C-alpha cells in the first residue's frame, strides 16, 4: 500500500516524499516521457493539453495545464504554462531540472518563483520512494508557491501518479 505524501518547507527548500507501489524503473519512466506525463500530471480537474519534451541534459519539457472541471469556479478554462529545463539525468535514479512558470512560447514568467529540483528514485523492494527537493532563491519564494496552493496541487498530482503506475503493475 502506498503511503501518503510528506511535504515540508525548510528555509529556501521544499521537500516532498512519497512511496509509490511500483518499481523505480517504471516511476522514473513516467517522468521521462511527455506522453506518460500527459496522463497524470497536474491537480484533479486539470489536463495537460500541450506536452513537448526533449528528455536529455540541456533539453526541456514545455507544457500547458488547463482546468477542465466546471466545479472549480474561476479556475475553469484557465491555462497554466510551465517549463522544466533538464540539467542532469541519471536513469533510473535521479533527475535534476530547473522548474519555471512560462508562457505559451516558453518564455519564463518574471516575478514567478523558479526552483532547482532534484528528484531521487529509491528502490524499496518493488516500491519506490520518490524524494523531490526544490531549492528556491528565497524563503519568500517558498512562501509564494505554498500560498498558491502548491501542496494541494502536488498531492493531487502524486495521487494521480500513484493511480497511473498502479494500473501498470
Q: What is the pLDDT of residues 69-98, one digit of tens each?
A: 999 999 999 999 999 999 999 999 999 999
pTM: predicted TM-score of the whole model, two decimal places: 0.93
User: For 48-76, what is the mean pLDDT?
Assistant: 96
Q: Which CATH architecture has domain 6-166?
A: 2-Layer Sandwich (3.30)
Strand partners, 48: 65
From the centroid of its chain, how far is CA 153?
A: 9
Radius of gyration of the chain (CA): 15
Domain ranges of the chain: 6-166
Beta-carbon contacts of 110 under 8 Å, excluding residues fewer than 6 positions away, are none
Question: How many C-beta atoms surround the C-beta of residue 42 within 10 A?
Answer: 23
CB 82 within 8 A of CB 65: yes
Phi and psi angles of residue 19, each rounded to the nearest 5 degrees, phi first: -95, 130
At 108-158, the pLDDT tens digits run 998 899 999 999 999 999 999 999 999 999 999 999 999 999 999 999 999
d(CA 116, CA 118): 7
What's the pLDDT score for residue 169?
62
Amino acid at each position: 500500500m502506498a503511503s501518503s505524501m510528506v511535504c515540508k518547507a525548510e528555509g529556501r527548500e521544499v521537500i516532498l516524499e512519497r512511496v509509490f507501489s511500483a518499481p523505480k524503473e517504471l516511476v522514473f519512466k513516467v517522468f521521462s516521457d511527455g506522453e506518460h506525463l500527459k496522463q497524470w500530471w497536474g491537480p484533479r480537474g486539470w489536463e495537460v493539453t500541450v506536452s513537448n519534451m526533449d528528455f536529455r541534459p540541456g533539453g526541456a519539457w514545455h507544457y500547458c495545464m488547463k482546468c477542465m472541471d466546471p466545479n472549480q469556479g474561476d479556475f475553469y478554462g484557465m491555462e497554466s504554462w510551465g517549463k522544466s529545463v533538464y540539467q542532469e539525468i541519471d536513469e533510473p535514479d535521479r533527475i535534476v531540472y530547473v522548474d519555471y512558470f512560462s508562457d505559451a512560447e516558453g518564455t519564463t514568467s518574471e516575478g514567478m518563483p523558479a526552483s532547482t529540483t532534484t528528484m531521487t528514485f529509491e528502490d524499496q523492494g518493488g516500491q519506490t520512494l520518490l524524494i523531490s527537493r526544490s531549492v528556491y532563491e528565497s524563503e519568500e519564494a517558498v512562501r509564494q508557491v505554498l500560498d498558491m496552493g502548491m501542496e494541494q496541487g502536488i498531492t493531487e498530482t502524486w495521487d494521480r501518479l500513484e493511480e497511473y503506475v498502479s494500473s501498470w503493475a
